[in-house]
Structure 1
């Protein structure tokens, strides 16, 4: 069944299609000494502790019109944190006009959404290379909903909530619902790429790879920041304190780290 952008479907009962958004972000940093690495990890733990992550997820919940039933959060030792929100359907009187539009979500204007027995989670993973001075912080956010509007409406807000060098984004629609005649619907909106939900101003800043399995309602995109300023990847000092040889060596290491994450494979180091 092919849908037009504004088409409304009369359903038999509740729309129980499950729409899942997985948003993975990476922040890369060069830490030359053990002390710098520890300071960076402490900074990350402070910036992305369980309380701040809870605030981000609560804003996502508000944005998609969900009601928070329960919050579980935990900071870990030595690093990392996790937050899970169990949410239920929020008060929705009418379906929004833009239910089926492919457009960037708000930043951070309110958007309502049908939700029931859904959840929003985040987990963080700070780690570092044992020899090359590279520290990488990763956060995984999952938004799973039932209802008319995709959690992709929260994607723009999530992108702007983190300092992101690389993003890996997955979206999948699972299960089925029925129209009034009993005909199964395995998706209730048009989509050909997650990139339709990313603002042009963001897309201009990233190199992007798109992989879609339309027949399975699976959509995937990866983004790597284009512009590289070494000062943004040094912790506690600036590039003008380094020799030309040091700047070149560090830049190569950072480039390789980002390429390996972006392409999903190890790349041999070359001087």
Structure 2
């Protein structure tokens, strides 16, 4: 018989800070200088400050936060940033509710939050010679209190078309119970992957690097399927000669592997 979890009685507020850093990369091949600029313009339009604000507002809803303030900015020549200050909503239960399961897509939760924020920055760029263009979005969700920002991870992954996903999660500080004992984490976690839907993780190669004694968790995802048609911008597959197709495939795969492994690789790959 499984015993129910004992209620953790705290001395004051839950002072744990839980931080989720979520980076996505979208890779494409744009053949000409004009097509590369069109790709940058396209990304700037699809992921402008207004669209990003909506995504982050949905994240706030998922983790049960009140939006206090929104600062957003589109940049010239490219990129955008949004910062949202969030605060607590009413608490449904005294128990932390952070099961190792994917979060909603989306479904409103009520939870305890304070002194928290959500930010996003975008970085579209292109290689002047190889035709490779890369879009990166960096999202940070930081919460203080009972709920974990991992509840928003499933929604975030589905909000972007991602070839590569790099996720860092860390719990900082401690909270003290009424007996004076310090608690450095208040929910179970063995892998960030447990908070992502199975149909999503099945589409990616995954690597975990976790430092359990420091409450630091790291997961990288690389898309398994590679269909050249999904990576061409402004150019059709039939417009490429066989040798050029192979060259483009190698450049795209090398770009993805270099980002995934965090190092430059041989041009023979």
Question: Which TM-score tier does this pair reach, normalised by the shorter chain?
Answer: over 0.9
How big is the shift at 1:100?
3.5
Unaligned 5+ segments in structure 2 are none
* Counterpart for residue 31 of structure 1: 30
Q: CA deviation at 1:95?
A: 4.6
Q: Does the residue aligned with 1:232 lie in a helix, a strand or coil?
A: helix
Shift of 1:7: 4.8
- Equivalent position of 1:206 in the other structure: 204
- The answer to whether 1:222 aligns with 2:220 is yes
Query: Greater CA deviation, 40-49 or 127-136?
Result: 127-136
Aligned equivalent of 1:19: 18
Question: Could you report, residue by residue, the CA deviation over 1:20-70 in whole angstroms, capped at 9, with x for unpaired residues?
Answer: 000000000101101100100000000000000000000000111101111
- Residue 108 of structure 2 corresponds to 110
Extract structure 1 runs of 4+ deviating beyond 4 A.
Answer: 4-7
Instruction: Determine the structure 1 residue equivalent to 2:252.
Output: 254
Distance 1:5 1:225 in 2: 39
Q: Which residue of structure 1 aligns with residue 165 of structure 2?
A: 167
1:157-196 map, 5 Å: 157-196=155-194
Q: In terms of mean alpha carbon deviation, does 7-16 or 204-213 score higher?
A: 7-16
- Aligned-residue Cα RMSD (Å) equals 1.5
Q: Name the CA distance, whole Å, in 1 between partners of 2:165 and 2:5.
A: 30
Deviations 1:247-271 (CA, angstroms, capped at 9, x unpaired): 1110000000000000000001028
SS at match of 1:24: strand
- C-alpha spacing 1:263/1:244, structure 2 compared with 1 (3 Å): same
| 3-state SS in 1 of match to 2:233 | coil
Contact 1:65 1:112 in 2 (8 A): yes
CA contact (8 A) 1:6 1:99 kept: no
Equivalent residue for 1:78?
77
| TM-score normalised according to structure 2 size | 0.96
Q: Alignment length, in residue pairs?
A: 267
1:68-117 Cα distance to aligned partner (Å, 9 max, x none): 11111100000000000011111223357x81410000011122221001
- TM-score scaled to structure 1, two decimals? 0.95
Structure 2 CA distance for aligned equivalents of residues 26 and 5 of structure 1: 42
1:229/1:197 CA distance change after superposition, 3 Å: same
Could you tell me whether the CA contact under 8 Å between 2:33 and 2:128 is conserved in 1? no
Unaligned runs of 5+ in 1: none
144, 147, 165: which one aligns with 1:146: 144
Label 1:94 to 1:227 Cα distance change in 2 as closer, same or farther (>3 A).
same
Paired residues of 1:32 and 1:133 also in contact (CA < 8 A) = yes
